[in-house]
Every structure is written in C-alpha cells, then in structure tokens.
Structure 1
Amino acid sequence: MISVDDFSRLVSAIYASAVTPEQWDPTLVELVRAFDGAGAGLLTSAPATRQSDVMVRQVGADPSARTTYNEYYGRLDYVATAVENAPVGRIHTGTELILPNVHTEFYADWCRPNHFQDGLFVRLAGGTPSAWLGVAAPRGPEPFGTTDRLTLMRQLVPHLKQAIHTRMELATLAQREHELARAIDQFQHGIVVIGPDYRILHLNTAAETILVSCDGLQLRPHGSIAATLSRADRELRRLVCLALDTQEDRVPEGGSFACPRPSGRRGYAVHVVPLSPDTDGLSHSTVTALVLIVDPEREPEPDTAVLRRLYSLTDTEAEVAMRVARGEGLKPVADELSVSMTTIRTHLQHVFDKTDTHRQAELVRVLLAIGPSFHDASQD
C-alpha cells in the first residue's frame, strides 16, 4: 500500500507537525492518500467540549465539515465517544463503530454528506484533553479496515502518539511562558532577561518604555541593552558579564549601580542578577541574567485606603502620613487641613505609634516600601 520511502516521509511529516502545528494539514493530506481514504481529522476532547483541530477532505467534499462539526455535530459524535473511552492506541474500524448507528442524526446529516461512512479511528492521548485521529472513507462494497490498512495504522500509531505528546508538552510550555510574561508585565519596574550572547530574550512593557525613551538606557541595533553614557554602559556590561559567567570554578554573580539620565531626572537603580537555566521559566536552557530597572520618578504612593487597612489609621491620620511621605512640611499640612500645629503633631504621633516608627524618615521608608505592592490592589 505504501513504499518504505513514502512511510519514512510520512513519519518525518508527523514529527514536524508536532513542532509546527500548521503542518498538520498537509500531513493529514498525505495520511489520507496513504490510506486511500476520503478525509481525516485530528480531534481533541475535554470534559465539556469536543472539537476538530485539523480536518482534511478530498477535493469536492463539503468545506464546511469542520465548522459544522465544531459548532454542532461534534456533540452528537458517537464514534468519538467510543474512541475516547477506549484505551490509548487501540484501533477501531468503521464496521465496529459507524455502521451500527446509521439511523442517527450525526450519521445522516454529517457523516454521509461528507463521505465519512467508514474508516479507522485511534485514541492517541489520554487525560485532559484527550486526542484522537480518524481516517474516514465512503462506504464501499468491502470494509475499509483491511489487513493492509490496519497494519499501516499500527505502524504509525507509536509515531502519532509521540507527536501528540510532544505537541501537548510544547503547548503547556508556551502557555506557562505566556502566563509568566503577562505576570511580569504587571510589574511597574522594568524587567529584562538577557541571554548568553547579551541579546534580550524578554522584556516587559515597563522596560520597553524605558529603553525606547533612550534616557539613560537604550536598545542597541543588534538587540542588547546599553546605557546611553559610556561610564554607565561599562558598568552595566561588567555586571551582566559577571551574571552570565559560566566558568566551573566561579559562581555567577551580579550587582547594582545607579544609571544617570541625560534628561537630569533621577537616575535609574539598576540591579543585575544571574538566573540558572531552570529559574527564568521562559523556555531557555542556557544561563541567563535578569536586569531589574527601578525608576524612582515612577515610584507610586500607597493609597490612603491601604494605609487605613494596614495600620488601622483614621482618615485624617492616613492623609497626614501621605503628605509627610510627599515631603510636605507640617505647617503647610496644618494650613491645608485647617487645623492647628498641635493637632497635626498629635495625628503624626498616632501614625508613628501605629506604624512602629519614630521619625518622619522612618515613616517615609515604610510607606515607600509598601507602595509598589499595594498601589494596584487599592484600585480593586
């Protein structure tokens, strides 16, 4: 039925599809030809859903087969139900699964119009979601499940199972990377992950904004991060080099430095730390470095509601604490709130007592420390 060379090409195409899902369409076309069938479908099923990820047909078949299957007929697919409840790797024939149920809506309105009245079907992966393959054909004078076709399917099943397993693993890794990237994007500080060739592997929105501004830090044409001033750039490269050091007799390290900004704004605080191959979560198998960029100009204030919840402050005490954190003097605060200096000092002393601080400088440090963590939460 199929030559050794054709079989080898088909197996290669199956594994290529595991890495590049777009290749499943042409791969299933070759699979249909190898079995001399009418079409094929690669389907996944979860507890509440069933859908065809890829479905191919011979020229002339209804092009809406996949759409109608996913939108309606998939839930009526008694073939899928049988395959999903069978052991992984077991091959079923159309004689076994389709023909006993020819008086159903699924058969009459979907299988027969699409010439999917016979075929071979096999479950390729268990768990959630489940995955299975069907090679379909029109009903003929002889059953589709001949000895040659069953033998070919048995030979292909191990490769198909491995390809589906690989595809699922890659999809899981891609989802984790996407979720991590989204989480990193929530940080107000710039985060840059750098590879061993000093090129940027990932950066969040805050870091992109900083680099595009070219005010102290910038992106080089070849994709690496650089400081705009030569002295700061040398220090940045030195710390990144230390963080990426993979010599066996040395432990990678990083460091911190203040990066000045030509605009005259307060400089960035730049922290460089090494990441081992299994800690960055971004699908890289080599040593990487993380660059954390803190912009003091964007440091958010804690919300007064957060201060009230954390330290049981009154509305006025929280307001006084906020104004002190901004560097406002007690006299302007008293004038703004229309109270005496004695009242302001009393409120401030209550704030000191409740926050376990003793001086304004200590209070400011406490408020700045909680600001980045609780600013967004206070908006919920």
Structure 2
Amino acid sequence: MSERERLADEIYAAAWLPSLWPEALKGLARLSGSFGAALVSRKNSTRWIGTPSVEPVIKAYMDGGWWTCDTRAARAAALLYPGFVADNELYSPEELEHDTFYVDFLRKFGLGWSLVSAIPSRDQGAMILSVERLLEAGPVDPSLVRVLDPYRFHFAQAVQISERLGTEQAQTASRILKVLGLPAAVIGDDGRVMAVNSLFEDLRGRLVARAFGRVGVSYRPAAKLLDQEVSRLVSTAVAVPVAIPVPVSEEGPALVLRLVPVRREAGDIFARAVAILVVTPLECGAPPPAPILQGLFDLSPMEAKVAGGIASGGTIETIARTHGKSRETIRSQLRSIFSKTGTTRQAELVGLLARAQINLTV
C-alpha cells in the first residue's frame, strides 16, 4: 500500500475512532512537507484537533483570540472552491507583509505560509482544515495544491460520518437510560436538547420545551438553577455536582434533576453531547433508601446524618452534641447540603426530604 493510499485509510479510520485524527493530520502534513495540520471549528473554540507540532500554536490562537483576526477561512469560503487554497492566492504580497495575523502571530512561531479549506459542517457551521508551513519554506507551489485536493474530499466525507455517529450516540444514550427506567435528555454543546427518551416526554407537564430547543422547568427556582448549570457546562466543560429539586405538584411527584457530564474520547471534536440530564422521580410511599439519596445529592455520610437530624426536627446544637462535632462544623456541612440540594433554608430542606419520605437518621 502506498503512502497516499494509507493516508486515505487513516482519514476514514479517524471518522470511526477519533483518537486517530492526529495521525491522519500528520499524514497530510507529511505528504505536503509541512510543519503541521489542524482541523478547527469556526463555531466553537474548544473544538479543534491538530498534529502535536501545531498544538501549542492552536492553543495560543484560541486563548489569545487570534481567530478574530484570521480571515483566511472567510476568504477561502468566499471562493466556493471545494479544495485547498494557498494564502498567496488569498492575499496580495502587500497584504501579507502588513496583515496583523501573519506578522504578529504566525511569524512569531516561524510560520507564514499555509493551505486552507472550509469544510461544511451541519453542527459546527464549518470546519477549517489547515496545513501550516514554515516561513522559510516560501510561498506554496500550485502543484502542492493539486496533490492535496483529493484528500480534502476524504476529510469532508469523514467529517460527515463523525457528525452522524455523534448524533446516533446521543440517541443511544437516551434509550439506554429508558431501559434503566430513568427519564433522560441529552444536552448538546450549544445547550440545546439533542435527544430525549419517551419517559422524559411523559414529564412534559413538569419539564417544558423552551425557545431554541432548551429544556425548561415549570418550577421557576429549578428552571433558573438548571439554566445556570447548563450554561456553566457549555462554556467551561466543567460540571459542578448539584441536584436540582422540583417539588411535588398536582401534576406528579417531586423530581430530582442531575446533569451528568459526557466525557469525550481524546480527539473527538464531533461528539456534540456535553451532558445527560437525568430525572429521578421521588415517589411518595416508595422512597429510595438513604444510600440512593446520598448518591442523588452527592451527600457525604456525615452530611446525610446532619440532613437526617434536621429532617427529624433537630437543631444545629443537638446535632453537634449527638455526633461530637462543633456547631461551626455542623453549620458548614449544612451550607454544603443546601448547595447540593438546591435549597436555601432548613424549612425547604425538611420539605424536600419529607416529600420523599426518606429517613436519613444513621
């Protein structure tokens, strides 16, 4: 098998196994005698993958906001050419000598010549495939564009395959949770719902559809907290363990909402799901045991004891004496319980636990 045939195979293999994207990009850079190559989303700055050689460059590109000065992709897309375009075809020599992105960013890394192509993407708007070359290599020869153009087609096909797989994985996750008896919705990297199972749809009176495909909650305090947590997860990719209680109503039992982060495989820039919203109904008369509640609210064993004491009518002073702790320690643990259960007062906490009819006394 020739190197060119092997590169085509590596590109399609990466569509199915995301950890292989760097190897496919490395093959593209090697074939063109370039410094490195990258695949970057124009829509989401956290979605990029590159060869090891360009990773520090892309990180500085994203962190420093240099993508706002980089007009290569926009100019290439405007040409409507389904292949690679060299920057000496996009800019005049005078522009290249004075362009801020080239002068103040690329040349700082010893770079200065490139080939770029905009690949249409259903989820990311467009993926930018770029091949970066050293400044000392000189302008790109047109013959090099002809060598690389066939591989742009392969990359475009692989991007479509990866995006389709990401959507199917989200749907599969929601179906698995249905088998486990849990209502669930898969949340994408834009905060919108990608998929729900039928158990989640059965809660439409409690969990409502909102504008732009986001999940809403009929109980306003829970709706506000859910919005905050989804926004935090989308913008930082960091989930803070928190349970969001929805009180009992005429429409059904109390609910606990949990956002479970979805960990992407290394290199998987197309798996859009960032979290699964799992809903646990707290049925009166059939409460889960204390260990389950601890799991729902991420309570430590001592926090469970404090919550149980409060639910049983105890005070901070009596709970401290019972467990040999200081009042400040109990107050600190109570603040943690409030944070984890989404409550702000002891009365709210008592009401939440009473509705679930759970005895936390240990």
Higher relative contact order (CA 8 A, sep 6+): 2
TM-score by length of 2: 0.46
